[in-house]
Chain A
Amino acid sequence: MLSHQNSSGKVVNMFDVLQYSFIQNALLAGTCVAVVAAIAGYFMIVRGLTFAGHALPNIGFAGAAGAVLLGIDPVIGLYVFTIGAAISIGLLGKEANERDTSIGIIMTFALGLGILFLSLYFGYAERVYSILFGQIVGISQADVVISGISSLLTLGIFLLLFRPLLFSSFDPEVAEARGVPIRLLAMIFLILIAITVSLSVQVVGALLVFTLLVGPAATASRIVQRPLWAIVIAILLGVSYTWLGIFFAANSNWPVSFYIATLSFGIYLPVRLLSPLWIGRRARRSAKEIYA
């Protein structure tokens, strides 16, 4: 089971791929990204910002394309566009309904610019497409260090803001009455998502970032209710999806994003369909405690 026929007909061990340094780099960088994305994704879901999580990677793609056109580092374009978009989303949309519309329009505007940049760019377009689809096997040692440090920094900010962020996510009215600066926190959180997205896009590509943001957190918040446990489970799920995805992709011709998306959907679907069983029981039990 653990061995298979490779293209040259030689039987190789599936775990042999782990010896390659580019696979090790991919695993390390992927782990950093998966941890940060799981935490950011949990808050994203609780705050109902799923659409923003989908829009920001696409906006980042446009920024990277622009940077490539100007001949500067795509990373700079990524950060400028995602943070700029996060600030405009925060400023434009006050109600949830209006917010979705403005997110959609900002996203399509950015993507339109991205297409313009692509069409003006006569160089090697592969570089731009690698931003869209990711190039997890092309990660250098330096990239690992950079994504490790930026993940740690983002994690630190999340830890610092953990309690007020949680409070304002679950009950904004009460939090505001208690003096929590909810408008400011909302803006900071959007910028944090923008940073998370930017550092993840470099590793896993714009199309996959959203999967890592929403998949683990959605499944975890269906399994347990307590925020801390949900975040821990989300991190575990995210890291295992990433490892398994890279592992399977290294042993086949199919892309990492497909494996990770399929794993995340394949685990979410049964949890989503079965969750009424335990969520209903838990609600009845807590209701019994209250009225006892």
Chain B
Amino acid sequence: MLELFRQDFVQNAFMAGTIVAIVTAVMGYFVVLRAQAFAGEALADIGFAGATGAAIFGISSLLGMFFLTLLAAVGMGALGERIRGRDVEIGMVLSFALGLGVLFLSIYAQFGTNAAEGVSVLFGSILSVTRSDVLITLVCGILTLLIVALLFRPLLFASVDPEVAQTRGVPVRALSIVFLILLGITTAEAVLVVGVLLVLALLIAPAATAMRLTRRPLATITLAVALGLIFTWGGLILAFVGTGRHLPVSFYITTLAATSYFISIPISRLRSPRCYKDRPHPSREHITTPLR
């Protein structure tokens, strides 16, 4: 077991996995809060087009993903205003990106190289992460976390109650575009680890599970990060030493993530009566004080 950790690819996998798990858990908290799970999914699929396109031109797939997801994030942020209508716009961009991805994949396959390379983008290839990928992931991750930390209060305010935030002078629209850009960078990183089809597992499952167990923002984020790390490390360890047969890492990660979410649902339903008990509202307190 310890022998395994001496190997380069195992170390790279653990380092990339750790960075991605932390960043996705923090971003995921806001994604769930803002009900933008679909946007996260769309950005990942756009990353698929970016990665396969980059493979054709022979550049790093991470760069291709960054380029297209950033473009799409700005576009989605600029196009959509209302929550309801935005679903359709995201869907249209998503379907176009998938079409492009399929085109790039088929061109790539026609070049003689095998399509398995492109398909590995869909399903993730954490074991082929290189040291330079780890460095790029680390730099982008730290930058993302720094920006989120700087914008934490206004972003939280705008996510929880956009109308009130707007009237209080918080630049809600600009924040939403910045957030989508950060989300684009995050999904591009996560695609490296779990693949396009499963980014959502790391993005929303830790945060959604944590939100069912606690309510305070900081406690939720901490719990989400812890869960994300458990899923990723658990998945990696199970895949390396697990069951004798080499089952894919992404399968373990998604199964751990989905199981913990499904377990958290009954727990939160059991606890909820206590949580929802009416607390005295500050402005209503004088009414409840008994008359003497």
Contacts and interface: CB of A to CB of B under 8 A. Distances in A.
Nearest to B261: A105
Nearest to B249: A115
Interface in A34-51: 45, 48, 50-51
Interface in A57-114: 58, 92, 96-97, 100-109, 111-114
Interface string A188-220: 000000000000000000011011001100100
B92 A218 contact: yes
A152 B204 CA distance: 38
A119 B94 CA distance: 27
Contacts of A92: 265
Interface residues of A, number: 51
A292 B99 CA distance: 49
A259 B40 CA distance: 25
Contacts of A262: 96, 99-100
A58 B103 contact: no
Contact of A108 (B79, B119, B258): B258
Interface in B5-61: 32, 35, 37-38, 40-41
Given A101-B208, A210-B98, A254-B103, A108 B254 contact: yes
Interface string B200-233: 1101110010000000000000000000000000
Contact of A214 (B92, B247, B258): B92
Given A51-B87, A100-B37, A100-B38, A112 B258 contact: yes
Contacts of A261: 95-96, 98-100, 102
Interface stretch (A6-14, A157-165, A176-184, A264-272): A264-272
B251 to A, nearest CB: 4
A222 to B, nearest CB: 9
B99 A105 contact: no
Contact of B258 (A105, A264, A265): A105
B254 A50 contact: no
A272 B89 contact: yes
A126 B208 CA distance: 36
Contact of A207 (B102, B115, B251, B254): B102
Interface string B105-118: 11100100001000
Given A54-B91, A272-B89, A115 B102 contact: no
Contacts of A172: none
B91 A218 contact: yes
Given A115-B123, A115-B250, A108 B197 contact: yes
Contact of B200 (A96, A107, A114, A210): A107
A7 B90 CA distance: 38
A265 B93 CA distance: 7
Nearest to A258: B103
- The secondary structure that dominates the A interface is helix
Contacts of A115: 123, 197-198, 248, 250-251
A122 to B, nearest CB: 12
A71 to B, nearest CB: 19
A253 B107 CA distance: 9
Interface string A237-274: 00000000000000001110111111011001000100
Contact of A51 (B38, B261, B262): B38
A108 B95 contact: no
A22 interface: no
Contacts of B91: 50-51, 53-54, 210, 214, 218
B88 A45 contact: yes
Contacts of B99: 208, 211, 257-262, 265
A17 interface: no
B37 A104 contact: yes
B148 interface: no
B255 interface: yes
A107 B254 CA distance: 10
B88 A96 contact: no
A261 B41 CA distance: 18
A105 B106 contact: no
Contact of B102 (A119, A218, A255): A255
B254 A109 contact: yes
A115 to B, nearest CB: 5
B200 to A, nearest CB: 4
Contact of A111 (B38, B93, B103, B197): B197
Given A108-B254, A115-B248, A257 B102 contact: yes
A265 B96 contact: yes
Which 9 pairs between the two chains have the least Cβ-Cβ distance? A261-B99, A112-B254, A109-B258, A265-B96, A108-B201, A258-B103, A211-B95, A116-B251, A51-B38
Interface of A: 45, 48, 50-51, 53-54, 58, 92, 96-97, 100-109, 111-116, 118-120, 129, 133, 207-208, 210-211, 214-215, 218, 253-255, 257-262, 264-265, 268, 272
5 contacts: A112-B253, A215-B92, A257-B103, A258-B103, A272-B89
Given A101-B37, A215-B92, 13 more contacts: A50-B87, A104-B38, A105-B208, A108-B201, A112-B258, A208-B99, A210-B91, A211-B98, A218-B91, A254-B106, A262-B99, A265-B92, A265-B96
Interface of B: 32, 35, 37-38, 40-41, 79, 84, 87-96, 98-103, 105-107, 110, 115, 119, 123, 197-198, 200-201, 203-205, 208, 246-248, 250-251, 253-255, 257-258, 261-262, 265
